[in-house]
Every structure is written in structure tokens, then in C-alpha cells.
Copies of this chain bind each other. A is one copy, B any other.
Amino acid sequence: MDKREETPDLSDSTKKKIFDAAHEVFTKKGMDGAKMQEIADLAGINKALLHYYYKKKEKLYETVAKAVIGKAVPVIRQMFEGDQPLEEKIRRFIDFYIGLISHNTFIPLFIISEINKHPDRFFETIFPQEMPRPEVFFRQVKEEAAAGRIRPINPKHLIVNIISLCVFPFVGKPMMRLVLGMSSGETLIFMEERKVEVTSFVLAALRP
């Protein structure tokens, strides 16, 4: 009785199933490595339907890529443009960013690979939005240093350090497991620990 209207846009329409499958395959294998057949199989539909809904492979790819990028930008914006005190900002960024990535493990690698291979496509069609501006963050770092509350540090390097510490272990997870000889279970625990570890490492490095 209550099932009359057809969901006008979202939910699990065929289009959504295709998008989800494409998301999984593209983030794992990139534009070149992904095959339309594999996406169709994963979505449980026929290859021809992909084209019915998304015309071309590249169009489907762009749709996925935009959605992926859209998730990461607000977190960076928060750190750059927010008005919390510096330490608070750093704590929140690390916590939030590691949390985001651990639920979307392949995303950073996806973004990075595609920027490297097709910088033009990336910047023109996939990422046309305004980047967060880091000036506020820069100023905060300088002020804290001037007041003697942190060790003086080049703020650009600080940002890069924080992002590196959060992102790289996910990007390089298999390599890391190899180097440290960790089982799958140990790796999970290890990644959980990193929120705390990275926070204390960064704050320790900033002590005056």
C-alpha cells in the first residue's frame, strides 16, 4: 500500500547499482585498468546497460571521480579555513582524515594516480572547484611560534607532514605489511592505533 511512488532519483535503481559497481572497480584499478565488463558483472547487469545510462566509459569515470574528490575537499577546507585553535585543528584533522580514509582505502591512490596520468582531464573536468586557501593556517602557525607556544616550523612543510602521516600508510599498506611482516588482523589494529600515534607524534614534534 505504501509503495506507490517510484523513487524519483536515488536509492537502488539500476543507475545506482552501476554507479556503486563503477566506484569500486575504478577506485581499485583506475581508468585504464577498469573494464566495462567487470563493472557490469559486479552490478549484476548487462554491459550494454552501462552505455544506456552513462553513454561512454569516460563519462562514467568522471561521475565516479567527482564523487570521490568531493569527499576529501571539505576536510581539508576545515583545517585550512576553520577558526579553532591550532592544536584543536590538528587533532580534529588527523582524527577525521584517518577515519575517512579507512572507510575508503583506495581513494587517495585513485586520486593520485589519475592526477599523474591525466593532469589535464583532472584539473579541467573533474576538479573545477575552488581549492581551500591555506593562508589562515599559515598565519596561525607563525603566531604560535612567535608566542613561543610551538617550535618554529615552515607551515607548508607542517601541512605536508601531517597529510603524509595520515594518508601514506593507507596508500602503501601492502608495502608496509610486507616490510613489517604484519598479518591482516594486525594491520587493522595498527591502522586504528594511528589516529593516536600520529597525533602525539606531530604534537611532540611541535613542542617548543
Q: Is the CB of B174 within 8 A of A171?
A: no
Q: Which of A109, A174, A179, A197 has the most CB of B within 10 A?
A: A179
Please give the count of copies of this chain that the complex contains.
2
> Contact flags (1/0) for A188-199 with B, using CB distance below 8 Å?
001001100110
- Interface size counted on chain A using CB atoms at 8 A: 58
Q: Is the CB of A172 within 8 A of B112?
A: yes
Give the shortest distance, in Å, between A27 (CB) and chain B (any CB).
10
Stretch at the interface among A39-47, A84-92, A156-164: A156-164
- A178 to B76 Cα, complex, angstroms: 12
Q: Does A70 contact B (CB under 8 A)?
A: no
Give the shortest distance, in Å, between A94 (CB) and chain B (any CB).
12
Interface SS of A by simple majority: helix
Given contacts A108-B172, A123-B178, A168-B168, 20 further A-B contacts (CB under 8 A): A29-B117, A30-B30, A30-B113, A33-B117, A109-B116, A112-B174, A119-B174, A122-B174, A131-B181, A134-B180, A156-B180, A157-B197, A160-B176, A161-B165, A161-B197, A163-B179, A164-B165, A164-B168, A167-B168, A205-B205
Mark A residues whose CB is within 8 Å of B. 28-30, 32-33, 76, 106, 108-109, 111-113, 115-117, 119, 122-123, 127, 131-134, 151, 153-154, 156-157, 159-161, 163-165, 167-169, 171-172, 174-176, 178-182, 190, 193-194, 197-198, 201-202, 204-207
